[in-house]
Structure 1
């Protein structure tokens, strides 16, 4: 009988919050951070999905480079607050920390969706706590044909 080992950390009853410096932007929804003690981590930002630029099995998607540029402009080199969500797994199958990212009281997921740089996203059929706000921001971007919702993408991947 085969044994499967899962790398997901189950949802915790309590969220935790910490700060870190963004040392790398992988793409619009994944960043590399360094904690004050020198440890590093990869963070998959909760509540959004951005067009692919680095996926090994997919071509670069429409608005992918622009979404990465948005993340770079807003997050690279900045100290951010990372908060896990008690309704979500702590880590995904790639062992990335699943976290909400805030910068000076500004929520990256909401603002990326508002800018048209990200889509509201439900991870593993379980919406993050801030999903309704992200979805509302996405609807604003769609109504204004902003970012990936306007030409040339018009919402297509």
Structure 2
């Protein structure tokens, strides 16, 4: 009798332990999701992955109605496998595009996933009709994993309300700190953004006043021919120049979209020693509709390895939003050490002041 009771007690304890562990695992997964997502703004579907198209796009068969659904991973952009020239698809893989595709394929192909997306229909799909979602498999948030593995960049499409943007920024920064995959050549040439004027008073598309300033902190000259840039709302790079443009060690270069004479008339204090580059492709810092707390600008080498990225908010400082002030780098520790010492955005590295193009203090 005693032996039977002991067996019952043992069985009860085992079941209680299993139940406790299961509940704990559910709570932990929920806490992880809540770290990155505003769950009150989201709903989800489940489905079996029937095709991995690339690193940030999959197709599932929905469990609720059995129909196929193409899912575009929300909040990120993986390197492209190719691009369209009019109606012709050109296969031209960017670095790590195949790695990102294989990473997702090896985890979810043929598996059932959960996809969180915005309740509000305005945010739930892109212009191609794809469902914009955060893909979760066995508690793993794959969008975040791609950021942490250096296989994706942030891409905040239309300020989607289910994303906690700062946490996604930290996830990308962790890969940058560790120099993994697409961040392996980060700051390799020591070309650094030292000033940016994103929102001059007046017309938002008055690109003659908007500018970016860079400096060569390295020991070697750098040719900016075929260097590229990308804004947070773009998925493809634009080109700075197709011509040879040498930036020697210690030299400063101001980049805008008007000719040099026009720019110097707008900013007469620019020293003659500062170089000027009129960007081949047009750019301006669109200040909506992507989230105002996350402006992102990427600078890349011709082989599309990221050299520099700047994250900032127009609400960091008074006068930065349509107030006549620019962001100016004042903390160069990140450059001197070659690493980012924290996973916070770049606020600690900059100040807001009257635009001062061509001069790095």
Aligned match for 2:61, one of 18, 26, 34: 34
Name the structure where strand makes up a greater proportion of residues.
Answer: 2
Q: RCO higher in 1 or 2 (8 Å CA, sep ≥ 6)?
A: 1
The answer to whether the Cα contact below 8 Å between 1:121 and 1:131 also exists between their aligned partners in 2 is no
Matches of 1:155 and 1:94, distance apart in 2: 27
Residue 51 of structure 1 aligns with which residue? 79
Q: 3-state DSSP class of the match of 1:43?
A: strand
Give the aligned partner of residue 306 of structure 2.
155
Between Structure 1 and Structure 2, which shows a larger proportion of helix residues? 2
* Greater than 2 Å deviation, 4+ residue runs: 54-59, 85-88, 124-128, 130-134, 151-156
Q: CA deviation at 1:130?
A: 3.6
- Tell me how far 1:154 sits from its aligned partner: 4.2
What is the CA-CA distance between 1:15 and the residue it aligns to?
2.6
CA–CA distance in 2 between the matches of 1:150 and 1:71? 20
Q: Following the alignment from structure 1 to structure 2, what is the Cα–Cα distance between the partners of residues 116 and 97?
A: 24
- Residue 94 of structure 2 is aligned to residue 67 of structure 1: no
Unpaired runs of 5+ residues, structure 1, are 1-12
The number of aligned residues is 144
Residue matched to 1:18: 45
Normalising by structure 1, report the TM-score. 0.81
Q: Which residue of 2 aligns with 1:143?
A: 177
Q: CA RMSD in A?
A: 2.3
Cα distance change on mapping 1:131 and 1:24 into 2, 3 Å: farther
Quote the Cα distance in structure 2 between the aligned partners of 1:38 and 1:134: 32
TM-score by length of 2: 0.37
Is 1:122–1:128's contact at 8 Å kept on the other side of the alignment?
no
Q: Please name the residue that 1:5 is paired with.
A: none
